[in-house]
Structure 1
C-alpha cells in the first residue's frame, strides 16, 4: 500500500507536534523545518483540524496544538482521515471506477482485507509511539 504525500506530510507534522505537545506550531515553521510548501501544509492542517486531531489558533502566539494527548491519537485513524477519498484501487472509488471485470473479480475482496489489516495494524500504534525526539526549537 502506498500513502499519498498528503498523508506522509501530515504524519510528519503530527510527529513533530507530539515532540513538543505544549507548544503551538505554525505551518510556516513546519514548512521551513521540513523544506515543504506552506500552502500544502496549511491544507493538511485544515483537514487535521476538521478531523479533531489538532486545534488551531490565529494571530500572535497562534498555531496548532494536538487536540488531545498523543497517546490517545491512533495512527490508523489519522491515515483514514488523511487518505479520505483516496481509493486503494480504482474499483474502491465511490462510483466504482471504470473496471471492466466488476462482478467476476476475485481480487477486490482480498485487497479490501489487506487494506483493513494494514489499518488495523496502524491502529495498534499511537502518535506517542512515533513522536520525534524532543527537538531544540528556537521560536
Structure 2
C-alpha cells in the first residue's frame, strides 16, 4: 500500500511537533526543517487542528503544538483520517464481472485491515523515540535561536 504525500507529511509534521513539544512551531519552520511544501503544510495543519491533534495560535509567538500526548496518537487511526481512501482495488470502476462474488477483493480488504491494525500497534511516541537523532537530522534548534 502506498500512502499519499499528504499522510506522510501529516505524520512528519506531528513528529516534528513532538520533538519540539516545549515550543510553538510555525508552518514555515516545519516546512524548512522537514523539507516539505509550506502551502501543503498549511492545509495539513488546518486538518490536524480540526481533528484535535494540534493546537494553533496566531500572532507573535504563535504557531502549532501538539494537543495530545504522543503516546495516545495511534498511527493507524491517523492514517485512516488523512488518507482520502484506503481502498486497495476499485471493482466498481473497472466493471469486473465477478465483483459480486470475488474472493480476491476479500483478501485485499483483509490485508488492508491488518495494515491499519499493525500501524495501530505504534504511536507517535514510538516513532519519535530516537528524538536525539531525529532532532540532529532535522537541524532543530531552540526557537529563540532561529531567525524568523
RMSD between aligned residues? 1.7
Instruction: Determine the structure 1 residue equivalent to 2:146.
Output: none
Alignment of 1:133 onto 2:131: yes
Pick one of 87, 96, 99 that aligns with 1:100. 96
Alignment of 1:89 onto 2:96: no
Structure 1 position 86, deviation (Å): 5.0
1:90/1:99 contact within 8 Å kept: no
Alignment of 1:51 onto 2:51: yes
Structure 1 position 12, deviation (Å): 0.9
Q: Which has the bigger relative contact order, CA under 8 A and spacing at least 6?
A: 1
CA offsets per residue over residues 2-56 of structure 1, 9 Å max, x none? 1011111111111111112221111111111122210101111111111111111
Q: Which structure's CA Rg is the greater one?
A: 2
State how many pairs are aligned: 135
CA offsets per residue over residues 59-85 of structure 1, 9 Å max, x none? 111111111110111111111111134
TM-aligned CA distance change 1:80 to 1:137, over 3 Å = same
Could you say what secondary structure the match of 1:55 adopts? Answer: strand
2:86/2:112 contact within 8 Å kept: no
TM-score (norm 1): 0.87
TM-score (norm 2): 0.82
**Separation in 1, partners of 2:47, 2:88:** 20
Structure 2 gap segments, 5+ residues each: 144-148
Structure 1 position 128, deviation (Å): 0.5
Could you say what secondary structure the match of 1:64 adopts? Answer: strand
Instruction: Determine the structure 2 residue equivalent to 1:123.
Output: 120
Structure 1 gap segments, 5+ residues each: none
**Separation in 1, partners of 2:95, 2:43:** 31
